[in-house]
Structure 1
Amino acid sequence: MATDAKRLKVDDSSATDGFEVKPLQVFLRWCDQVGLTLSSKVYVSKEGTVSEYGMLAKQDIEEGEVLFSIPRSALLNQSTTKVSAVLEEAKASLENTSGWVPLLLSLLSEYTSPQSFWKPYLSLWPDFKALDQPMFWSKEEREQLLKGTGVREAVDTDLTNIQKEYQDIVLPFILLHPDLWSPQTHTLELYTRLVAFVMAYSFQEPLEDEEEEDDKDPNPPMMVPMADMLNHVANHNANLEYTPEFLKMVCVRSIGEGEEVFNTYGQMANWQLLHMYGFVEPYHSNSNDTADIPMSNVYKAAVQATKSESEQRLLVDKWNTLCEMEMVGEKGVFIFGKSGSLTDTEMYTTLKILCMSAEEFGEFRENEGWEEAEEEDEEKITQALCNEGLPGLAASWRRLLRAAAGFTLASFREDLQKDRAMLENAATLTSRQHRALQVRCGQKTILNQLMELTKP
C-alpha cells in the first residue's frame, strides 16, 4: 500500500492553489483502490530524479525485494478499456505493421473521457507537454543537431507512417463510430502525441517461448501504471517481472537510501533513447552505445578502391551476391559498439566477399559458397571483429572498413574535437542541443576508435 510519507513527497508544481489535490496524490490513491501494492521503502517524486517523475529509496533495499506489484486488471491495453468489445469486433480491419492501433484508439477514448477509469493515471501527463522526442523538434533543429546520427531519418519515417496510419486506418474507423470517437476531438495531433506516449512509456510482455520469438508476432504494447515512472540507465537496479496475476518490479541489486530506482528499457544506444524516449545517458557512461555504418558507405568505399571498369563490374556482381544472401540491403547498416562489431556475420561476410580476387569469387559462386559462408565458425567471426581482433584483419579488409567509417564520420556537421569542446561549455546549451551532442559524441567516439584500430 502507498504510505502517507510517499503521498506527501510530491512536486508542488502540480497544484495551482492550496485547495487543489495534486495529480500524484490522486494517482497514488487510485493505486490503492486498484490493488497496486507499493513497498514502504520507496516513494515517487520529481525532486532528486534524473528526469520528471522517478522512484527513490527511503531506506536501504536488498536484492530480490519487490518494490511494487500491479494486478493485470489495472493495466491499460486494448482488452481492458470500455471500447474493448468494439476493437475486438473490428480486429481484422485495425491490423497494421506497428500493431499499435488498438491501444492508440483505446488511449484516444480514455484520455478524453472525464469518467475514464484511468483518468488519475493519465492526468499525470497533461497534454503530454513533457514529451520531447525529436519528432516534436522543428525540421531545422533535426537537420542542424542530428545530421549523421540516423535519428533524423528515423523521425521522418515515423511522422510519415503516423500520418498514413491515421488517415488510412484510424480516421475511417473513428467516422464509423461517432458515439465513441470524434475527428474534432481525436485529431492527428493528439494521435501523434499518443504515439510518442506509447513509444516512451509502454511495455511489451516477452513471449513465453523464447526459442520461437522470431516466428511469432510480438505481444501488443500496454501501459503499466507506476512501472512507467521509473527512469532508465544501462546499469539498472530493478527489473519488471511478469506473472499470470501481477506484474512486479523487483530489485536486482542492493539500493542505498536516497538512491533512485532505475528500470531498464533494454540494451539501448543513445540515439535510440533520444529517438524513442527523448533523453540520453552521458555518452561515456552508456555501455550500450553504438554507431551505425550505412551499408551504402561500405559499397562506396569498395567503389573508391576499384581501378578499372572490369573491377567495377566485378564489384557489382559481388554486391548483388551479398544482396541475394541477404547480408546487405539498400537501407541497411552495420552496427559497431564500444567493443567492436555487433553485426558480426553480415560484416565478416561482406568484407570477405568484397575483398576476394576475381578467381576466388568465381570459385565461390561456382561452389555456392554462400551456403558455406553462413556456416562459418561464429566464435572465429566474433573474435575477428572485436576491438582486439580488428588490427589483425587482412590489410584490404581494414582499408575497406576504415574508408567506410571515414565516409560515415564525414556525414556529421562537426568533428569529434569540436563537439567535445562544446560539451565543456554545456551550461550554454539548450536541453535539445545537449542531448543531441551526447548522441553525436558517442557515435563519433566509436567511429574514431574503429578508424584507429584499422589504420595501416
Structure 2
Amino acid sequence: MAQSDSTPAFLTWFTEHDGIMDTSSMLLAIVPGHGRAAIASRDIPEGYTLFEIPRGLTLSLRTSSLPEKFGISAWRKHGLHQGWAGLILCMMWEESLQELSNWSGYLSILPSSFDTPMFWSEEELAELKGTAVVDKIGRGDAERDYHEKVTPAIRSRLDLFPPNVHDKFFSVEQYHVMGSRILSRSFRVEPWGKEEGEEDDEEEDGAEANTSTDNAMDVDELVERRHPEKGQLEPEEASDEEDDEIEDTADIAMVPMADMLNARFESENAKLFYEEEVLKMITTKEIQAGEQIWNTYGDLPNSDLLRRYGHVDVVTLRPPLAGEGNPADVVEIRADLVVETVSSRAQGNVQNRVDWWLERADDDAFVAESDCEVPKELISLVHLLLLPEVDWLKLHAQEKLPKGKLTPEVLPVVIEVLQRRLTAYPTSLEEDVTLLEDPTLSTNKRNAIVVRVGEKRILQCTLERIQALQQSAGGNPDKKRKDTGPTRHPGGNKKSRR
C-alpha cells in the first residue's frame, strides 16, 4: 500500500495551508479496488481527531474569488447563481490558475477520469437498460448549462479566461470532469454563526462556511444564508432537495483531505464535524491498525453509488433477500406503468383520476425496497383507478387518497405490474447471475449487472410474496400490514440535475 507520487506533495500543501493531520495515526495509500484511501497506521480509539481543516481551505462559491472578480450582477445575468454551473466554473478557473490558485496542491491530486456512467459509451449505457440510472445521468442538462451559461460567461471576460487556455481548462470535457469531481467528493458546508432570533440546531447534516480569507466573497446577495450550530458534516447526498427547479449550491464545498476517505455500506468509523473555525474528522468507533478509515455516503443504493461515484457495494444481504448485494438497493416503478397496466380494468375517466392523483401525491414513480413490500403509494393509485364512479366522486369530494391496503381485487393488478416491470430489463435475473461469474467482464459492465441484479431481486422477491398471498385460500392479504389511514406520499422519480 505504498503512497502515490502525488500524495506527499498534497500533504505538504495541506500542512502549509494550516491543515493539521496526525501522521502517526493515519496515512494515505492506494488500495486495490478503492483507489486512494485513508489507512490507520496504529490502533485508534473512538472520539480521536484524525485531522483538522480550516474553513477557508474548503473550495466553494464563497471561498473562490472568481464570483467577486466577475461581478455579482454579471454572475446573475449569466445564470451562474443557479444550479451547478457557477460552482463548476469556479473549479475550472481555479485549476486554470495552476500554482497561483490557493488550491493548486489539492486540485492536482483529484481524479481526472471516472467510472461513472457520465463517461460511458452507448454500448456500456445499454447495459443499464431497465434501471433508473440512465435518466438520472444528466449529461444533456449539463451540456446545456455549459453552452448557455458557461460559454457566454467565459467569452464576456477574456481577462479572466484567456483564449489560449480555453481548450485545456474550459472545454466541455473538462466541465464534465469538474462536475463529476463535485458530484463524487463534495460536502454541504453551511456558513457558521447565527442571525439574531434564530434557533440553535443541535445537529444538522452538512455545512459551509463564512471564510476568513481575503478572497472570500460576500454571497448574501446571491443566496439566502443559513447558520447551523456545531454538528456533524455529511458528504453531499442525493435527495429530494436536488430536484428543486433552482438548486442552491452555495453551501456545496470541496473539502480537502476529508474527501480522501472512502465509504462502504455500514462501515463508517469516522465522521466530519464542524466548529467555528475548523472542520474535524473524528473517529466514531475504535479502528485497528491497518484498517481502512471509512466515511459515509449515507448507505445509498447501488444505482446511486454507480451514478455518483462509479462503484457498487456488494455485501451479505438480509432476509427476505439472500445472497450478496447492497441491502440499501431500491427499484423504481413508474406510475405510468401502473396506469397502463390497470387501464383495461379502470373505472370512469382515467386521465381525470391520474391528474387528481398527481396534484395531491406528486408521485411519478414508486420505490420498492429490500423488504419486498409493495409501496403503499402504488397500491393507493391502483385502488383509485379501480374505484366505481360513485366511490370516486365521494373520495374526490373528501379530498382523500385511498389507503394503501392490499385487497383481493388489487393483487392481480400488482402482480401484473411487477411482471411487466421485470420485462424492462434486457436479461433475466438468472442470466445476470450467470454473467457475473465471467472473470473477463469489464468493470463498467460488471457494475451495471450488479445494479440490475439488485433491482431484479427486489422485484422477484416482491412478486413471489404477492403471488403467495393470492394463492393462499381464504387468506387476508393485508393482515400483516398495519392500517395507518390515508396513505402519505414521499417524492417519486426525481432527477438529479448533475
TM-score by length of 2: 0.75
- Judge conservation of contact 2:379–2:410 (CA < 8 Å) in 1: no
- Aligned match of 1:389: none
Shift of 1:94: 4.5
Shift of 1:242: 2.2
Shift of 1:87: 4.4
- Judge conservation of contact 2:26–2:40 (CA < 8 Å) in 1: yes
Shift of 1:97: 8.6
Give the letter for the 2:129 counterpart: K
Off by >4 Å, runs of 4+ in structure 1? 207-210, 213-219, 340-344
TM-score by length of 1: 0.82
Task: Give me the identity figure in percent.
Answer: 27
Comparing 37-46 with 182-191, which one deviates more in the overlay? 182-191
For 1:113 and 1:350, how far apart are their aligned partners in 2?
55
Deviations 1:88-123 (A, max 9, x none): 523422446963222211111111223222121111
Alignment map for 1:6-405 (pairs within 5 Å) = 9-11=2-4, 22-39=5-22, 40-47=24-31, 50-87=33-70, 89=72, 90-95=74-79, 99-115=83-99, 116-125=101-110, 128-129=112-113, 131-143=114-126, 145-155=127-137, 158-181=138-161, 182=163, 183-185=166-168, 186-205=170-189, 206=206, 217=248, 219-235=250-266, 236-282=268-314, 284-306=324-346, 311=347, 313-328=348-363, 332-340=364-372, 344=376, 346-370=377-401, 393-405=406-418
For 1:99 and 1:416, how far apart are their aligned partners in 2?
38
For 2:71 and 2:373, how far apart are their aligned partners in 1?
43
Q: Choose between structure 1 and 2 for higher RCO, CA contacts under 8 A separated by at least 6 residues.
A: 2
For 1:66 and 1:347, how far apart are their aligned partners in 2?
46
User: Which of 437, 458, 466 pairs up with 1:446?
Assistant: 458
Give the letter for the 1:318 counterpart: R
For 2:167 and 2:265, how far apart are their aligned partners in 1?
41
- Return closer, same or farther for 1:112/1:234 CA change in 2, 3 Å cut-off: same
User: Which of 416, 422, 433 pairs up with 1:420?
Assistant: 433
Shift of 1:209: 6.4
For 2:359 and 2:329, how far apart are their aligned partners in 1?
30
For 2:118 and 2:448, how far apart are their aligned partners in 1?
13
SS in 2 for 1:196: helix
For 1:366 and 1:410, how far apart are their aligned partners in 2?
38
- Return closer, same or farther for 1:319/1:239 CA change in 2, 3 Å cut-off: same
| Corresponding residue pairs, total | 403
- Aligned match of 1:14: none
- Return closer, same or farther for 1:184/1:58 CA change in 2, 3 Å cut-off: closer
For 2:95 and 2:177, how far apart are their aligned partners in 1?
11
What is the CA RMSD across the aligned residues, in angstroms? 2.6
Deviations 1:277-315 (A, max 9, x none): 111111634222111111111112212445xxxx3x443
Which protein has the bigger helix share?
1
For 1:315 and 1:84, how far apart are their aligned partners in 2?
50
- Judge conservation of contact 1:62–1:253 (CA < 8 Å) in 2: yes
For 2:395 and 2:81, how far apart are their aligned partners in 1?
38
- Judge conservation of contact 1:99–1:220 (CA < 8 Å) in 2: no
Deviations 1:41-97 (A, max 9, x none): 1111103x5411111111222222222111111111122224241245234224469
**Structure 1 unaligned regions, length at least 5:** 1-7, 12-21, 385-392
Comparing 234-243 with 414-423, which one deviates more in the overlay? 234-243
Deviations 1:336-381 (A, max 9, x none): 111256965x3353233233233321221233334xx6xx7xxxx6
SS in 2 for 1:362: helix
- Aligned match of 1:16: none
**Structure 2 unaligned regions, length at least 5:** 190-205, 207-225, 230-239, 316-323, 471-498
For 1:220 and 1:234, how far apart are their aligned partners in 2?
26
For 2:148 and 2:374, how far apart are their aligned partners in 1?
37
- Return closer, same or farther for 1:96/1:363 CA change in 2, 3 Å cut-off: farther
- Judge conservation of contact 1:133–1:278 (CA < 8 Å) in 2: yes
Give the letter for the 1:149 counterpart: T
- Aligned match of 1:390: none
SS in 1 for 2:279: strand
- Return closer, same or farther for 1:282/1:86 CA change in 2, 3 Å cut-off: same
For 1:51 and 1:140, how far apart are their aligned partners in 2?
25
SS in 2 for 1:318: helix
- Judge conservation of contact 2:372–2:461 (CA < 8 Å) in 1: no
